Structure 1
Amino acid sequence: MHALLFSLLCVLVPAAQSSHHNRPREVRGADQNGKYILQAEGIRAQFIPYGASITNLFINDTNGVERDIVLGFDNATHYSIDQLHPHLGGVPGRYANRIRNSTFEIGGEEYHIEPNENNNNDTLHGGPNGWDYRNFTVVAYTQDSITFSIVDPDGEQGFPGEVISYITYTLSPYTWHIKMVALATTKKTPIMLTSHTYWNLDGFQNPDSDTALNHTLHLPLSGQRIGVDNILIPDGTILPNLPGSVNDFWTQPRQVGFNLDDPDIVGNCGFNCSGLDNCYIVNRDADGPYDWRTKGPVASVSSNFTGITVDIFSDQDAFQVYSCVGQNVCSSSVF
């Protein structure tokens, strides 16, 4: 049996706290919009079984105004009917990101999975019936924690073996914790999970911009990134993020859109694409043993408009940043 375990912490830090918008409320099932509500001191969030998705994340800004800082629909039913399906806040699976030619080999046996991108030249986020197109089961629910589960059968989308997965979201004071467990119960199979959350720390209330391109991003451990081809398939190379280059968010914090006027940004996120959709390597091993919960964030993003900062801690070796270049409304960034 093979297993994947992924943990991530998002610590939200407004410069001044006001808690009157976060009063405790009785814990029941889903509300009238199909959402499950969690809360802790200074933070409140809503989730739905469809894709085990986060739909709302509320925190007060520096003026005590509550902001919803992630992108999601008001009603859970909208997720299944949206034709564009931009993976809002869900858990793509069983394999996030892309598989070239929708083909892979395990133990000398070749597997062909369902293609769904680039004229069927690759499989993105698990295929046309990936996990964030499906309803998970709620297996545990308290005031500050919820666990979703899915059983992915052998042969689904062409993937070998059954996979059982548990996605647990927990809130503690000003912190959102994500834990993902996936168990391959019958056969070896590729598994890679992530949280496909879109952030807008302005809560779409900034009169000067409705995008997150003015947010400040810092990737202090990411002096390298994974090289890709024109359709964003990894090509086996590790590339340097040279100081001052369009992918340099490690030597100093920079605005997400600081590089849009740089000619080198063209093609950075694929053929004729200008923006970010890149996998940045998290280089921590050189420092010796570390505890990912306390060593420091792999990424920080902040807004001058609201004063809200999100510090992201992760036990993974890489970190994807997407500046929303492929959406119909470029209004957020996903990590």
Structure 2
Amino acid sequence: MESRRFVRRLVVGAVALAVTAGAVPSAVAAGNDHGGSTGVMRVVGAGGGTLGPEWGPAFAGDPVRFEIDGRATDPLHPSGTFHVVHRKPDGKLLAEFSGPITSLKAVDEVAVVTGVIDSADHPGLPREMIGKNISLTVYDGGRQDRISWIWGFFDAPVSLLQGTAPTFPLTEGGFQVHGTGHAAKASGTTVAVKAAGDGTTVAALLGDATLRFQFAARVPAGGNPTEVQGDFHFVDRRGSGVDVEGRIDCLVAGGPVAVATGVVTASNDPAKVGKPVSFSLKDGRIDRLGWIWGFAADAPQIVDCQSVVPSYAPRWGGLAVR
């Protein structure tokens, strides 16, 4: 129930979603090589905007600004810093905090950066900040960059390498994301999404010779991320033999990036039934998918609408985020 409250607060803007801390090795698909990266990943820039009415009377109209300067060849051993400033409309400081980056994963134009606060000034926010973890998801969209955040000082545990969908569009400044990526040919999108008014719709049918993923979920207009209807089916024939299907319990999208969590309802391995799963999806020039298996021995705890950077590129099929 606590994680569901965090999701609802994401919608109204009081605080972002939560996930538990810890590294995420074989339980997580972190790249096409399923864990490794090649080359230097970089996130640099500064930008911000004004919080809208969905953030409620406490924060609507507040200007916020983010600065990130980080790089990594190993996602769990990055270098760099982050800096966040949140003011009131009259210019008074609500909170300002900064610190070192603790993990950084970037693929194509999407990145997740985590860090720990070591300096803070927060006259308008009576919270303990020093030593708290944060997570930032960045989408380098060219003319329309996006960001999202998870604040540990709102009692939201932050996990290395994990974030949510970049729901906040920047209106000034921007970020450059230089991510790793092994361009795979998608032979054409086989997904059709029928618009049905407002709301969030994500659909996917993609894979390669040994992997197949099917996904369809929708949040109706006015609904929060946990008011989703949808399901998934994942088959991996590369040695793990994973064949799982189930329902989607949470879905949030920002621009072309979506994050979803769910639970296994059927599998070729009965021990997997009832276990949570997490997915990330990117609808782009190269569609990408990421996942966390909650049934793996080394899996982190999965919390609603949290996942890793989408990294796996299909050989066929595609996906759509609306």
* Fold shared by both chains (TM-score > 0.5): no
State the TM-score, normalized to the length of structure 2.
Answer: 0.36
Q: TM-score, normalised by structure 1?
A: 0.35
Greater fraction strand: 2
